[in-house]
Amino acid sequence: MLRLAALVTLGWLVSTQAHAVGAAEPGKEPAVDAGACMAASEAHDGDKVLTECGAVIDNPKAARADRINALIARASIFITRGEIDRAIADYGVTLQLNPTLASIFNARGELHRKKGDRPKALADFAAALRLNPDHASARSNYHALAVELERLGAQMAVAGRPSFNCAMARRAVEKAICADPELANLDREIDGAQARVVREALGPAAARALQREQDAFIARRNAGFGKPGYDLKKAMQDRLRRLNGVDGY
């Protein structure tokens, strides 16, 4: 979860110099006052942040550190309002201005992941770790996403394949399952759930009883397929729900 307040605080710590407000040096334009933006951010006043920080961001005479601070503050407001793309855009400009901010790479990665863009999220988490190998949040995010991608890859490798070898299918019901990716996936999930409940059974007798129940389901499936009123998909879904302990089973 994004720690928005921490990111805003980080933004104000980006600057290492205080900007004096008052008379400008001879021949120079007065410095842009980012104080109103800072005050609005600290007060969590979203509307004022958008106005005051937006003015700093859009002012070409604003100091780079002030623009970075303002961009981070505005991104935080966009996040709270669900405007993820606009927050990502502000983090992108922030990293153009200062590409060494590991926490911003990590924060942008979290937004990409929230949007479902896993490759971009993984790239941002990796960038954060390159900048700061001790960044705990980036390390945790990177590991969790890598595991998720590995699992998704494994699922894609078997997607549309049942638990049995379709080349050996002889029964009409088996051929029907092989011909329908949704039924094939259901069959594989049933097989995996059956293996799990047998593995977790309390003793050999309970495991044998569970296997007999599965054998009875297969027998009913084989006998019922093709008969009027028999719904193979529903029968398989019901069996999977039973194995997974759903709907009161």
Domain that includes residue 188, residue range: 166-243
Q: Shortest CA distance to 237 belongs to which of 221, 224, 223?
A: 221
List the structure tokens of 151: 């699992």
- pTM given for the model: 0.55
Residues 100 and 172 placed together within one structural domain of the fold: no
Work out how many domains the chain is built from and give that number: 2
DSSP one-letter code for 202: S
- pLDDT tens readout for residues 22-73: 334 444 545 567 899 999 999 989 999 999 999 999 998 899 999 999 999 9
Sequence-distant (≥ 6) Cβ neighbours of residue 64 within 8 angstroms: 97, 98
- pLDDT tens readout for residues 116-157: 888 899 899 999 999 999 999 999 988 888 887 777 655 555
Q: Domain boundary at 124, 156, 188, which?
A: 156
